[in-house]
Chains A and B, each alone.
Chain A
Amino acid sequence: GEDVEQSLFLSVREGDSSVINCTYTDSSSTYLYWYKQEPGAGLQLLTYIFSNMDMKQDQRLTVLLNKKDKHLSLRIADTQTGDSAIYFCAEYTDKLIFGTGTRLQVFP
């Protein structure tokens, strides 16, 4: 089946790093995405990684992909209060499958 799983909540202190994890089931996924949803808004594409890559860095964001374990993570360095949001991972094979979402709360 197609299941993309994430932990529901993550709480971090401002300035610390956040790591949001995601597991997927379809080994034929070609692209994997991270989206951010702020309160009352739609989803915003943050970054993505091709399935033949292990890591991608984009400013404060680092995406790690472990294809063997079908595990994807998003690391946010120096987490700020503005990073508080819901984060969705998604895998693409012939369609986009979204994860269950992780609510990140950043406290001072």
Chain B
Amino acid sequence: EADIYQTPRYLVIGTGKKITLECSQTMGHDKMYWYQQDPGMELHLIHYSYGVNSTEKGDLSSESTVSRIRTEHFPLTLESARPSHTSQYLCASSDRDRGSDEQYFGPGTRLTVT
């Protein structure tokens, strides 16, 4: 059983607000990821990190930012939420020492911006 947590699970917020989605894992994994999942099911990688102080943008352009100050923590921030940010956000982690990049996922945060 993977130990990766996301909070909040659900968030409804007004346009223009700043929000931070939290993601934490207790497995000591170096690699962490944020995916955005649209209603059509497809996953889009928006950010990833290979370790502390390492962050990279993913395949899908996103107005969000991330930070990685501690191994276990990888928060995602939206400075000014817009309705187009409404989506499901999934966090994942994997062990750098494994060559397979087997990713473990959190339960997700469903964000609605009104």
Contacts and interface: CB of A to CB of B under 8 A. Distances in A.
Contact of A45 (B41, B90, B102): B102
A24 interface: no
Interface of B: 4, 6, 41-43, 90-92, 94, 99-108, 110
A100 B104 contact: no
Contacts of B107: 40-42
B43 A92 contact: no
**Interface size grouping (class) on chain A:** 20 to 34
B105 A98 contact: no
A35 to B, nearest CB: 8
B100 A48 contact: yes
Contacts of B100: 30-31, 48, 92
Contacts of A48: 100, 102
B41 A100 contact: yes
Given A42-B90, A92-B100, A101 B105 contact: no
